[in-house]
Amino acid sequence: MARFLFTCWSFPGHVFQPMAIAHVLRERGHACAFYSGPRAARVVEGENFPFFPSGKDEEDAMYDFMFAPQQTRTVNWRTMLQFSSTIQRWLLGSIPQQVRDLERIAAAWRPDVIVTEQNMWAPMLVLREKNRIPVAVLGYISCMVPGPDAPPFGMGLPGPRNWYTRLLSKSVWIGTAPFRAGFRRAANETRRCYGLPPLRTSVLEFTGTMPLYLVMGTSEFDYERKDLPPSVHYVGACLWDKLRHEKPSDWLEQLPKGQPWVHASEGTVHVVSPFVLSAAAQGLANLPMQVILTTGGNREPSELDLGPIAPNVHVVRWVSHTELLPHLDVMITTGGSATVQTTLRAGVPLIVVPTDWDKPDIARRVVETGAGISLAPGQCTPQRLRAAVERVLGTPSFRQNAQRMAAAFARYGGPQAAAGLLEKLAAGQIPA
């Protein structure tokens, strides 16, 4: 039996996907525990895994940064300097506390492997070398190790497939060199405090030197990259059915099956006005389709001002994707990785309204696979969203490409494949 310590930030999507892998490992007789922010305690302990909390003040500061309504988080040339400075303080500034926590946990719980998400850097930058603990990286939907087969991360750029897009990627790569250099200097200062040698590559390149880098997605959705180190393995979607014990949504059975079904969701954490739901409620009202809007776990439908609700529009807090997706014709989403993977795995086309962080990159991948379209948040008006839905419904290639992506997802092992590779790492066998 091996012991696996999962370290992740406490955002719901960052907890749910490792949870799927932890369940498989436990079923195979291994022990798993989680280190995350206090907000994750209810979920982790509810599944009977040991939980080690990080500091609440650190978590609160991180949530304030990530979800401040007034903050511009999409990276562009005008915001790059501010964004780089802030993200550096978050990712690198949290390392000393993580090291203190994890060294204490490792001494008491004695993990054989630390499985860390790609945005929690203490295990990769410090603990692997300082404490000689094997570290595996978890990447959400795509690999962040840079290379010529993918555009620089964070700006929603097209894949480098022709002379223009290759030139665009190279230009951005050169233009962002000062920011990468600043990150590396700060990372090296952190490593120096622990007696470790300086990095000779960027931090993201360094993550590819870990003995195992699991991407919870598919190569087909990640530009079919050939430029990655051998430690990188695509394992497919790792999706945890967190509400599998909930009562079925009986009201779904009452909806007409002879009309298209359209679902709109803004994810699990909300800080801005429900502009996507509002545009869907008004733009799709009284059309020959059934529109299901979910407000999320922390918003009551009655609290949101979505305007008049037409008879074909249904507003609820939550609906099971397991029940809904077999009937769905179009998914409207802000681009969270778990929602996009769940939808593509079901062969359903998407309209992505990417709001922040990695969502523009995810939206770009949806567009380039032909499985959907992207609509900028500033363009998400009722009229434009209606036109987008009608375009997806009226163009068979979107459904065909989504089904092609579903076939690609089916070729990967998901949590079982991830668990098998982690078992090899724990046994001292570097996965090939």
Q: What is the pLDDT of residue 270?
A: 52
Domain spanning 3-145+176-238+414-426: CATH 3.90.76.10: no
The predicted pLDDT at position 396 comes to: 97
Q: What is the pLDDT of residue 245?
A: 46
* For residues 38-64, average pLDDT: 85
- Report residue 398's pLDDT band, with 50, 70 and 90 as the boundaries: very high
Query: What is the average pLDDT value for the chain, to the nearest integer?
Result: 89
Least confident of 107-121, 258-272, 327-341, 389-403: 258-272
At residue 71, the pLDDT reads 45
Q: Where in the chain is the domain with CATH 3.40.50.2000?
A: 3-145+176-238+414-426, 250-410
CATH superfamily of 250-410: Glycogen Phosphorylase B; (3.40.50.2000)
Where are the alpha helices (H) located in 110-215, listed in sequence order?
Answer: 122, 128-130, 163-175, 177-193, 203-207
The arrangement of strands across the sheet holding 212-216 comes to 51-53, 31-36, 3-7, 113-117, 135-140, 212-216, 232-234
Task: Please report, rounded to a whole number, the percentage of residues in the chain having pLDDT higher than 90.
Answer: 68
In tens, the pLDDT along 347-362 reads 999 999 998 778 899 9
Q: Can you tell me whether residue 241 is helix, strand or coil?
A: coil
Cross-strand partners of 265? 294, 333
Predicted local confidence at residue 59, as pLDDT: 73
Query: Which is more confidently placed, 410 or 244?
Result: 410
Q: What is the DSSP letter of 214?
A: E
Tally of CB atoms within 10 A around 85: 12
pLDDT at position 301 over 90: no
Q: What is the pTM of this model?
A: 0.91
Confidence (pLDDT) at 269: 58
pLDDT score of 308: 87
Average pLDDT over residues 82-97: 76
Q: Residue 72 has what pLDDT? A: 43
Question: Residue 68: is its pLDDT beyond 70?
Answer: no
How high is the pLDDT of residue 298?
67
pLDDT digit string (tens) for 153-207?
A: 878 899 999 999 999 999 999 988 888 888 899 999 999 999 999 999 999 999 9
Please give the distance of CA 198 from its chain centroid, rounded to a whole number.
Answer: 30
- In the prediction, which pLDDT does 65 show? 62
Q: How far apart are the first and last CA of the chain?
A: 22
- Greatest mean pLDDT range, 16-25, 75-84, 252-261: 16-25
User: In this predicted model, what pLDDT tens digit does every residue of 219-235 receive, in sequence order?
Assistant: 999 999 999 999 999 99
In whole angstroms, how far apart are CA 220 and each of 190, 261, 344, 365, 369?
36, 27, 12, 9, 8
